[in-house]
């Protein structure tokens, strides 16, 4: 029987290294498939019903593992928010959709006020706990259609899929959830944020991010513990 192309040969080395469990299932299945595949005289192939069931079960396992691997690849390990690679992909997609369908969206960049002082005073373990808690607060504060990511360090970013007229609903909710949170109260944690939105003159999504970033630093200059919203 002619040997068929082994999918393992087509898998990049980095994937094999990062996901050996998936590669093992694929390889085990391929070897088993080679053993049970029977070629008839006219060149067609026959597989028993029991083998088809085995195939279905194996594919189900592979799909589950791929889902887990994909989820791990788009999430920030500390906060379980999305990572910036995924965020930028979604931002670019939303930007293109806004051009095509005239959809509105906003970008919110958030920074924990005086985070270095928090680390210096309480230690990095407490700093990590605060970052994780902020992640939970942001997930609680936004809708399922919105996307929150960890920008890096103590900064976070949100893709809010609505127009600027509705933005105070989410910024007020974030602030209220910060105020009510026990850990935020214990360590006297405040945040600052900048908010920008899609404008017809924007040539690329980076312009929106840059405006939000500038507004964040304006919020810091203005005394922190506030959001500055683009006009």
Catalytic residues: 154
Return all residues near 65 (Cβ < 8 A) that are at least 6 apart. Answer: 19, 21, 22, 25
Residue with token string 């990095």:
124
Indicate the angle between helix axes 205-221 and 84-101, nearest 10 degrees.
110
Spatial strand order in the sheet of 191-197: 147-152, 155-160, 106-112, 191-197, 227-229
DSSP one-letter code for 165? G
Return all residues near 77 (Cβ < 8 A) that are at least 6 apart. Answer: none
CA 22 to chain centre: 22
User: Which two tokens mark 66?
Assistant: 């791929």
């Amino acid at each position: 029987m002619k040997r068929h192309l082994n999918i393992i040969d087509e898998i990049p080395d980095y994937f094999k290294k990062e996901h050996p469990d998936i590669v093992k299932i694929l390889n085990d299945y391929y070897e088993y498939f080679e053993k049970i595949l029977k070629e008839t005289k006219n060149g067609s192939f026959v597989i028993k019903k029991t083998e088809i069931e085995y195939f279905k079960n194996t594919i189900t396992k592979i799909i589950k593992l791929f889902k887990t691997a994909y989820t791990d690849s788009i999430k920030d390990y500390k906060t379980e928010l999305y990572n910036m690679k995924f965020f930028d992909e979604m931002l670019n997609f939303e930007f293109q959709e806004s051009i095509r369908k005239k959809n509105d969206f906003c970008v919110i960049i958030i920074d924990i006020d005086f985070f270095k002082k928090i680390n210096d005073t309480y230690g990095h373990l407490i700093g990590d706990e605060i970052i994780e808690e902020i992640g939970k607060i942001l997930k609680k504060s936004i809708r399922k259609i919105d996307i929150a990511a960890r920008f890096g360090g103590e900064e976070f970013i949100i893709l809010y899929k609505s127009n600027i007229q509705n933005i105070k609903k989410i910024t007020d909710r974030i602030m209220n959830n910060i105020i009510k949170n026990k850990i935020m109260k214990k360590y006297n944690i405040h945040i600052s944020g900048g908010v920008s939105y899609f404008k017809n003159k924007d040539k690329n999504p980076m312009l929106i991010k840059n405006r939000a970033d500038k507004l964040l630093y304006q919020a810091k200059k203005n005394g922190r513990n506030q959001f500055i919203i683009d006009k």
